[in-house]
Amino acid sequence: MPPVGLVRVADAMLDVAVPSRPGRVAGVSMAGFRGRADDPVSLRVVPYPAFTVFIDFGDVELVDDASGARKRDSVVVRMAPGSVRAGGRDVDHLQVRLSPVVAHAALGGSAEQGSALIALDDLWGRDAERIRERLRAAGSWDERFTVMDAALARRQEAGPAVDPEVSFVWGEMARSRGRARVERLAAEVGWSRRRLWSRFRSQVGLTPKRAAMLIRFDHVAHRLAAGHSAALVAAESGFVDQSHLCRDVMSFTGMTPTEVADAPWLTVDDLAWPARERALRG
């Protein structure tokens, strides 16, 4: 059995399961969630520096406030999605976080473009339904994790790989928590800034600058949720001042640092994604 914990998210108590052993694909982390709320719960999704796949077997619906799009069943959330909410009463779903280095191959290059929410069927075709049925029939979370791990490994092997230079730059950004200078990284891989900008954006889905900001935001959000003051986090995370931090937080969430610190979505992270910084590097 995978390790299981219980956590309150808004008005729902959720059982959280994680794999009992490492998966076959680096840059991938998974968690399972199950529970029920007396009344429907709506949560803002806090941006994370990875693509997130939701495979849902309950009644959870994802909503993109910017476009009004609503999707259920199997949905991919792009990085830095803007205002995306998840709502429902019956929670029974698998979440998979994929580094963009992995997502480019495992989800397909088209995942980096377009809407904040993408139906997995649009990327995997009939294979998405077959995998969903196998997951639904699985008798345990560990069996679900194994099914999904095998599917991702198979698709990654067959999919388009990112340029080694792009993979290196992403890895350096993750290791520095978004503080590595893009110009230095371009020089290290022997590319012009313009070429790095173009190739990185086409394969990751964000510009190098925006990707670095997102990685740094993720670190900041978890520091804030852990109870550290915005002033301290700004000083220790490379911001010019606290107002600079506030602007970055607002750009990703539309919320103040205080609101981010209290975001229910972050309450599950230490339990569900204990190795998140290793996982996002790919």
**Which has more confidence, 36 or 155?**
155
CATH 1.10.10.60 fits 164-265, yes or no: yes
- Whole-angstrom Cα distance, residue 102 to residue 155? 10
Report the predicted TM-score, pTM, of the whole model to 2 decimal places.
Answer: 0.90
Q: Which residues of 119-151 are buried (b: 16+ CB within 10 A; e: fewer)?
A: bbeebbeeebeebbebbeebeebbebbbbbbeb
DSSP 8-state assignment for residue 107:
T
Contact 166, 44 (CB under 8 A): no
What is the model's pLDDT at position 53? Answer: 95
For residues 255-281, give the mean pLDDT. 76
Q: Please report, for residues 69, 75, 117, 158, the alpha-carbon distance to residue 121 in angstroms, rounded to integers and kept in the order given.
A: 16, 8, 12, 17
What is the model's pLDDT at position 8? Answer: 72
The class of domain 4-160 in CATH terms is: mainly beta
Q: Please report, for residues 113, 197, 214, the alpha-carbon distance to residue 211 in angstroms, rounded to integers and kept in the order given.
A: 14, 11, 5
Q: For residue range 140-170, what is the model confidence (pLDDT) as tens digits? A: 999 999 999 999 999 999 999 999 999 999 9
- If pLDDT is split at 50, 70 and 90, which confidence band does 109 have? confident
Burial group, residue 158, by CB count within 10 angstroms (0-12, 13-18, 19+): exposed
What is the model's pLDDT at position 1? Answer: 47
Q: For residue range 179-214, what is the model confidence (pLDDT) as tens digits? A: 999 999 999 999 999 999 999 999 999 999 999 999
Res 75 pLDDT > 90: yes
- Enumerate the CATH 2.60.120.10 domain ranges in the chain, comma separated: 4-160
Least confident of 9-23, 53-67, 91-105, 268-282: 268-282
- Enumerate the CATH 1.10.10.60 domain ranges in the chain, comma separated: 164-265
Q: For residue range 207-234, what is the model confidence (pLDDT) as tens digits? A: 999 999 999 999 999 999 989 999 999 9
Least confident of 4-13, 98-107, 183-192: 4-13
- Whole-angstrom Cα distance, residue 33 to residue 272? 9
- Whole-angstrom Cα distance, residue 249 to residue 267? 18
